[in-house]
Amino acid sequence: MFHQHFQPRALPAYYPVQMKATLVLLQQLHKSPDAFVHHIRHHAGSVIMKIVYGYDVDPNGDRFVELVDRAMESIRIVANVGAFFVDFIPILKYLPRWLPGAGFIRRAQAWRKDVDDMLEEPFEYTRESMAKGLVPPSFVSENLTKMQKTEVADTPTHLEIIRNTAAVAFAAGADTTVIVVLSTMLAFLLYPEVQAKAQAELDAVVGHGTRLPNFDDRPQLPYIDAIVLEAMRWNSVVPLGVAHRTMKEDVYRGYYIPAGTFQIHFFFSVYDYVPFVGAIIIGNAWAMLHDEKDYPNPLVFDPGRFIPRDGKERQPEPTVAFGFGRRICPGRYIALNTAWIAIASMVSTLSFTKAVDSEGRVVEPSETFTSASLSFPVPFKCTIKARSPQTQALLD
């Protein structure tokens, strides 16, 4: 179901949504640049909410975007395998809630409500809008209509699939795009020559202040493509991916990995309690994308890696940022498109420079990222202005 709506052939239908949301983003960044993180988060949320639920996000503050922020905060914490001891001793989940040390159960109950609300509330909004005949086409409305026309036998199961698939798109599409755009902004501050080269390419193809870039321009903007790829490689959105289970036994660099590895097993006898902790298989995306054999000077932000030059082949695309094999992210195409049009439009109309404090001193941003299941740039300050009177007029 996810693949049918988010495969490459389906993407042109979403271009108008992405373009409209990006125009709002540009105007917000120009109007209140200090709130750029808020604006970028709402941009990503508005694109995915419109596509998935047919819902128009309020750019000044939206309950559904705030809802996914709360739900994702808990998911970011628990997605770090081993963040809680219960990850290694599952039987602890049966502890009485009042027992000292069972605080994780009470936290989980509160988080569960946020995640359930994220599943239910936007979905119910679309169902109610459909009943009133008000909702535009969306992932949810189209699948609900298809279900009604085909009179699916197992309706509750099918409803659950639609609701859960929509929630995955909603949750995953928000944070990942935000991280790529924020990482690119940070790179512009640290590597101003990258921003200058991107602006020169856009001016040559789109013109300076004449119009905004669109997806038809993409074949003529290879450097913007390269910036998006390098942002994904430079700061891996999901540095360690997600835990996997082996389908068959394997040996990797001398390490024997049993079939079915991921589950944690315990053996009990009359006399003892002996835990056997099975290995958890995690693909270290960060290490792969910072391997000097593939990416010389891996800590440097260099979009030129992905452009052939001087007879040298381009370096490998950072596809492992999206996962591996059959479990690779099925929303990667739409995520890349949303990030691409945002970055191209921002570079075309705005300039990003290091902030200056009240005494005129430059505020140096940190080139570090958070260490968690999702890796964000640590908070930084940035000065955002229209590039020229022409781009100012275009934004107005």
Q: Which residue positions form the known binding site for heme?
A: 329
Q: What is the C-alpha to C-alpha distance for residues 282 and 243, in angstroms, rounded to an integer? A: 5
Q: What is the C-alpha to C-alpha distance for residues 330 and 3, in angstroms, rounded to an integer? A: 6
Q: What is the C-alpha to C-alpha distance for residues 64 and 45, in angstroms, rounded to an integer? A: 9
Q: What is the C-alpha to C-alpha distance for residues 264 and 274, in angstroms, rounded to an integer? A: 12
Q: Is 296 left (phi over 0), alpha (psi -120 to 50) or beta?
A: beta
Q: Which two tokens stand for residue 9?
A: 């052939």
Compute how many other C-beta atoms are within 10 angstroms of the C-beta atom of residue 356. Answer: 12
322-325 contacts: CB < 8 A, separation 24 or more? Answer: 323/238, 323/241, 323/242, 323/283, 324/241, 324/244, 324/283
DSSP 217: G
Q: In whole angstroms, how far apart are CA 10 and each of 51, 262, 315, 334, 346?
A: 11, 35, 28, 9, 25
Question: Shortest CA distance to 335 belongs to which of 234, 244, 228?
Answer: 228
Q: In whole angstroms, how far apart are CA 139 and each of 53, 148, 165, 289?
A: 6, 14, 9, 33
Contact, 267 vs 274, CB < 8 A? yes
Contact, 36 vs 30, CB < 8 A? no
Strands 250-252 and 382-386: unpaired
Question: Is 72 strand, coil or helix?
Answer: helix
CA 78 to chain centre: 17
Q: What is the C-alpha to C-alpha distance for residues 108 and 125, in angstroms, rounded to an integer? A: 26
Q: Which residues sit in the known binding site?
A: 329
